[in-house]
Chains A and B, each alone.
Chain A
Amino acid sequence: MNTGTQRLSGWGRANTSPALVSHEESTAAVAALVRSAAAGGLPRGILARGLGRSYGDAALNAGGRVVRTDRLTAIGDVQPDGTVEVGSGVSIAELLRHVVPRGWFVPVTPGTGHVTLGGAVAADVHGKNHHREGSVGRHVVRLQLVDGTGEVRTVSPGDPAYGAVVGGMGLSGIVTKVTLRLRPISSATLTVRTTRTADLDATMSALQEADRTHRYTVAWLDTLAKGSGLGRAVLTAGDHTTSGEAPRGGVPVGGGHSTAGEPASSIAYSPGRSLPAPPWVPSALLSPTTMRAFNEAYFRAAPARPRVTTESIASFFHPLDVVRGWNRMYGRPGFLQHQFAVADPQCLRAVLELFSRERVPGFLAVLKRFGPSSGLPLSFPTAGWTLATDVPASPQLGPVLDRADELVASYGGRLYLAKDSRMRPELLPAMYPDLDHWRQERALLDPHHLFVSDLSRRLHLC
């Protein structure tokens, strides 16, 4: 169904462009649309869009066609081996609502439940368990894809096309179904250990240590702290509460896992009532001084000595989802997220020093350790460290961010395309050395060059 021209934006609201948006009901409808495009009907190309949680321009196609996946929402039965086939428009939150009561959990979830499986595959998303379980592409059994000729294909790990699609930012076709391998859980709660660290060395070694013993780890880091406080953080490490533990507030699953049919117990995923964010925050609040005060308060609120608590899935994995539209807080200019991955801790330190020295007004940043890379050409995670920092989209920050990018590139690191909204295109081949290989595989799937986005135009991706 065609809903006319809409002005779309990325999550950061700093990149916007209009596109003709349609909501296709089925794989066949998507395929028909792509075939008509291949026949020359859509000069500005076509792009899939999930829930628009990519920060920049990955899900935008100025003047072209955008296919929303919000009608591709079927959820199949969970098979005894834990696999489930879902429509690419199903969100992580919806899938959790469906499978958690049956004793299953998604293998990977990003920091919000409001992303679709299609978007998760296109960005090959990672979660707090990357050090153990890798990115989502490792847990996909097969994909259903409409390629650039309108043909419906099945793509599985190991196929050459797999690396074009997973991490391929929607530029290799439209994913219509995802078959995913779930993991069994025996409760809907997490046992979470929270600690505070005083500086970067302490934060890094605490994360390394936590990675050995915990499935989920992450650190919230104060990028405005100066001097010896540089890199201080609040670190959380979590694991699914097992039936043996005495859950504080959590309800364990009674029996074994259930597949089709009724849920086995009353455990559930409920993100809680969502509260609207204030429509705007006075821009003075986005200044380094007030942000520093906020970060200070957050840091102080964390326990000085380690504390163990029981948390719900939603509050542990998707804490911001209860604040509806928080991305509007930055007002009209919007904001952006700078996320890089790099092996060398020296690079991490150099970037943090740069941000602190230049007083880059960032709220808490997220630091995490990545396990080995998936090896897929455009997949972002590579072994080492990743830092994600939200900053206002202010042109004055351009030069500092460019310097950070150059540091990252010089250390062999890379930026995350699902977050990027401003990097220099010249740095891309250095950051993604297999770019040309990806381009070749992509071209085989899309010989008429139909799939295009504002991101691909800006970075001259294909």
Chain B
Amino acid sequence: MLDALRSPQSVLVLGASSDIAQATVAALARRGRLDRVVLAGRPGPRRDAAVQKATSEVGRRGVVRALDFDATRPDEHEAVVAEAFADGDVDVVLLAFGVLPDAATAAAPDAAAAVVTTNFTGAVSALTASAARLRAQGHGTMVVLSSVAGERPRRSNYLYGATKAGLDAFATGLGDDLAGTGVEVVVVRPGFVRTSMTAGLGPAPLSVDASDVAEAVVAAVGGGTRTVWVPGALRLVMSVLRHLPRAVFRRLPI
């Protein structure tokens, strides 16, 4: 349960090894009530490291469990989510998996479609499975990592932007559908976050660290369904960029 100060006791991460997810688990653990962490992701050294890190963060009182989860296998999502809820209520579900395609991927038809499968299709099935469980338990927060890129797709990463636009619309609508059930959906729209996903890319203006996203997520949990920009200034920036004529927007060096 969330307590009166909105500190959660349990979290399910979809996309276990994500840098943003790991920072978020750490920030939730610092609130001092986290005692159950379920890390769902593809097996491998990155997930092992995430399990180890979470284990040290939740300390003696906590239990950390890894589950095999592949975003590209929607047929398996319901069972994975059921497994995560088998040990008790889940206060926070964090949807953190995603891929950032390069130009070559975007140019190859089947590779481009595979990005959609991971970022959008897989997210739809995982969120749908989670929503059913949360609705039944009558409380909980779904945190969905969308992106500013979904707000207005740019020519440099329109494929990624399109998947995030779809995810953002889906999560926002799902949040409205869940109104009154005790379940809230927090849609997070980070800008450029310095993580393994963006490693090697030139730093963008207003870039932040995974820990900044984590703090924003922790502050939003339990506060009601809404959209969170990280950094907060992006809300304003995007409200301007959104209205630029396409010919101008297209030429922006972003």
On A, residues with C-beta under 8 Å from B are 5, 7, 10, 12, 14-19, 43-44, 56-57, 62-64, 334, 336, 393-395, 397-399, 402, 421-422, 424-426, 454, 457-458
| CB <8 Å contact, B6 and A395 | yes
Q: For B211, what are the chain A residues with a Cβ–Cβ distance below 8 Å?
A: none
On B, residues with C-beta under 8 Å from A are 1-7, 9, 31-33, 35, 61, 88-89, 135-139, 180-182
| CB <8 Å contact, B1 and A457 | yes
Q: Which of A5, A17, A395 contacts B139 (CB 8 A)?
A: A17
B89 and chain A: residue at smallest CB distance: A457
B9 and chain A: residue at smallest CB distance: A458
A56 and B138 contact, Cβ closer than 8 Å, known pairs A18-B181, A18-B182, A398-B32: no
A393 and B4 contact, Cβ closer than 8 Å, known pairs A17-B182, A458-B9: yes
Q: Which of B3, B61, B89 contacts A421 (CB 8 A)?
A: B3
| Measured CA separation A206–B135 after assembly (Å) | 54
| CB <8 Å contact, A398 and B5 | yes
Give A426 Cβ to nearest chain B Cβ, in Å. 6
Q: For A458, what are the chain B residues with a Cβ–Cβ distance below 8 Å?
A: 1, 3, 9
- The 9 tightest CB contacts between A and B, nearest first, are A63-B138, A421-B4, A14-B4, A62-B138, A458-B1, A422-B3, A62-B139, A18-B182, A395-B5
Give A57 Cβ to nearest chain B Cβ, in Å. 7
Give A395 Cβ to nearest chain B Cβ, in Å. 5
| CB <8 Å contact, B138 and A19 | yes
| CB <8 Å contact, B182 and A63 | yes
26 contacts between A and B (CB under 8 A): A7-B180, A14-B4, A15-B1, A15-B4, A17-B138, A18-B180, A18-B181, A43-B136, A56-B4, A57-B4, A62-B1, A62-B138, A62-B139, A62-B182, A63-B135, A63-B139, A336-B5, A395-B7, A397-B5, A398-B7, A422-B7, A426-B61, A457-B89, A458-B1, A458-B3, A458-B9
A18 and chain B: residue at smallest CB distance: B182
Give A53 Cβ to nearest chain B Cβ, in Å. 15
| CB <8 Å contact, B137 and A63 | yes
Q: For A398, what are the chain B residues with a Cβ–Cβ distance below 8 Å?
A: 5, 7, 31-32
A424 and B32 contact, Cβ closer than 8 Å, known pairs A18-B182, A63-B138: yes
Q: For B35, what are the chain A residues with a Cβ–Cβ distance below 8 Å?
A: 425
Q: For B31, what are the chain A residues with a Cβ–Cβ distance below 8 Å?
A: 395, 398
| Measured CA separation A168–B159 after assembly (Å) | 57
Q: Which of B4, B89, B180 contacts A5 (CB 8 A)?
A: B180
Q: For B61, what are the chain A residues with a Cβ–Cβ distance below 8 Å?
A: 426
Give B112 Cβ to nearest chain A Cβ, in Å. 41
Q: Which of A14, A16, A19, A63 contacts B5 (CB 8 A)?
A: A14
B181 and chain A: residue at smallest CB distance: A18
| CB <8 Å contact, A454 and B1 | yes
| Measured CA separation A398–B88 after assembly (Å) | 24
| CB <8 Å contact, B180 and A57 | no
A422 and B139 contact, Cβ closer than 8 Å, known pairs A18-B182, A457-B89: no
Q: For B6, what are the chain A residues with a Cβ–Cβ distance below 8 Å?
A: 395
Q: For B182, what are the chain A residues with a Cβ–Cβ distance below 8 Å?
A: 7, 16-18, 62-63
| Measured CA separation A62–B88 after assembly (Å) | 13
B6 and chain A: residue at smallest CB distance: A395
Q: For B4, what are the chain A residues with a Cβ–Cβ distance below 8 Å?
A: 10, 12, 14-15, 56-57, 334, 336, 393, 421-422
Q: For A422, what are the chain B residues with a Cβ–Cβ distance below 8 Å?
A: 3-5, 7
A394 and B5 contact, Cβ closer than 8 Å, known pairs A5-B180, A7-B180, A424-B32: yes
A421 and chain B: residue at smallest CB distance: B4
B134 and chain A: residue at smallest CB distance: A63
Pick from B2, B7, B61 the residue with the most CB of A within 10 Å. B2
| Measured CA separation A394–B1 after assembly (Å) | 17
| CB <8 Å contact, A18 and B138 | yes
| CB <8 Å contact, B137 and A62 | yes
Give A11 Cβ to nearest chain B Cβ, in Å. 11
Q: For A334, what are the chain B residues with a Cβ–Cβ distance below 8 Å?
A: 4
Q: For B88, what are the chain A residues with a Cβ–Cβ distance below 8 Å?
A: 457
Q: For A402, what are the chain B residues with a Cβ–Cβ distance below 8 Å?
A: 32
A337 and chain B: residue at smallest CB distance: B4
Give B25 Cβ to nearest chain A Cβ, in Å. 18
Q: For B181, what are the chain A residues with a Cβ–Cβ distance below 8 Å?
A: 18
Q: For B1, what are the chain A residues with a Cβ–Cβ distance below 8 Å?
A: 15, 57, 62, 454, 457-458
| CB <8 Å contact, B3 and A15 | yes
| Measured CA separation A19–B138 after assembly (Å) | 7
Apart from A63-B136, A393-B4, A424-B33, what 20 extra A-B contacts exist at CB < 8 Å?
A14-B4, A15-B2, A16-B182, A17-B139, A43-B136, A62-B137, A62-B182, A64-B138, A334-B4, A395-B6, A395-B7, A395-B31, A398-B5, A398-B32, A422-B3, A422-B4, A424-B32, A454-B1, A454-B139, A457-B89
| Measured CA separation A16–B139 after assembly (Å) | 9
Q: For A425, what are the chain B residues with a Cβ–Cβ distance below 8 Å?
A: 35
Give B148 Cβ to nearest chain A Cβ, in Å. 27
